[in-house]
Structure 1
Amino acid sequence: MDKLKKVLSGQDVGGDTEDPGVLERANQATTLAWGKRVKGFLVCFILGLFMSLLSTFMVWIPGFGLAVFVVFYTVGNICVLAR
């Protein structure tokens, strides 16, 4: 309980070197290099733009064009927002 009080009050600055805290382990597991972040951004952005542009051409397909438009446009927007 004392350790929890120290962590919540901000007094546990260094922590134990043997047993890193939950936040430290999560930070180490999820950090990406700057180059990988930029590459991920570019892939998501370009893929999202491509899907959105492709959806506008699919709307003119007779019969099922509107349903295909909705799917491609939604997936494209999700990709762009996922960056």
Structure 2
Amino acid sequence: MDKLRRVLSGQEQNEESGLTTQILDASTLSYSSRVKWFVICFAAGVLCSILGTALLFLPGGTKAFAAFYTIGNVAALASTCFLMGPLKQLKRMFEPTRLIATIVMLLCLILTLCAAFWWHKNLLAIVFCILQFLAMTWYGISYIPFARDAVMKCFTTCLS
């Protein structure tokens, strides 16, 4: 609609504008829309993870479990893009304070699917799903100030 307005008003811009400009122009959502889509995407991710866990108990359901659980975690991770925008989300994911957590999390997502579909190792896929959960948790608490320090102190107190 905006393009039609520009053409009709004689303010047509060059069609070869940058990809970033096109993405930013196409992704302007209001705050309430961002929150709604965050909730929808996050709920879909949680639903996929729960469905994957339920499928684990079916005969031969390890592949479906790994796929749905991983899709659920990716959807939950992608839901935050609605709140802060995809570029800012990517920048924050790879900040030095959460770089290791991000790499481990992404590696666990990939290794879960590899173990389930290409290596056909069901137990290994389940182990990678557990590691995926732990990596996602560690990554998630990296956004809460002093949460990782509190968790580390709690575990060191419990283990000693």
Q: Which range, TM-score by smaller chain?
A: 0.5 to 0.7
The CA deviation at 1:24 is 6.9
In structure 2, C-alpha distance between the alignment counterparts of 1:26 and 1:71, rounded to whole Å: 29
Corresponding residue number in structure 1 for 2:46: 49
Alignment deviations for residues 34-57 of structure 1 (CA, whole Å, 9 cap, x no partner)? 111011100011010011111111
Structure with larger Rg: 1
Aligned CA distance change for structure 1 residues 25 and 46 (closer, same or farther; 3 Å) = closer
Q: Greater RCO between the two (CA within 8 Å, min separation 6)?
A: 1
The CA deviation at 1:28 is 3.8
1:14-53 correspondence to structure 2 within 5 Å: 27-53=24-50
In structure 2, C-alpha distance between the alignment counterparts of 1:33 and 1:82, rounded to whole Å: 18
Matched residue SS, 2:58: coil
| Segments of 4+ moved more than 6 angstroms | 21-25
- Alignment RMSD: 2.1
Give the count of matched residue pairs.
64
Aligned CA distance change for structure 1 residues 25 and 74 (closer, same or farther; 3 Å) = closer
The normalised TM-score by structure 2 is: 0.35
In structure 1, C-alpha distance between the alignment counterparts of 2:57 and 2:49, rounded to whole Å: 14
Q: Percent identity?
A: 36
In structure 1, C-alpha distance between the alignment counterparts of 2:52 and 2:21, rounded to whole Å: 43
| 1:71 alignment partner, one of 59, 67, 72 | 67
In terms of fraction of residues, the more helix-rich structure is: 2
Gaps of 5+ in 2: 1-10, 80-160
The normalised TM-score by structure 1 is: 0.64
The CA deviation at 1:31 is 1.4
In structure 1, C-alpha distance between the alignment counterparts of 2:54 and 2:22, rounded to whole Å: 46
In structure 2, C-alpha distance between the alignment counterparts of 1:66 and 1:79, rounded to whole Å: 20
Aligned CA distance change for structure 1 residues 25 and 45 (closer, same or farther; 3 Å) = closer
Alignment deviations for residues 15-34 of structure 1 (CA, whole Å, 9 cap, x no partner)? xxx67x96777544321101
Gaps of 5+ in 1: 1-17
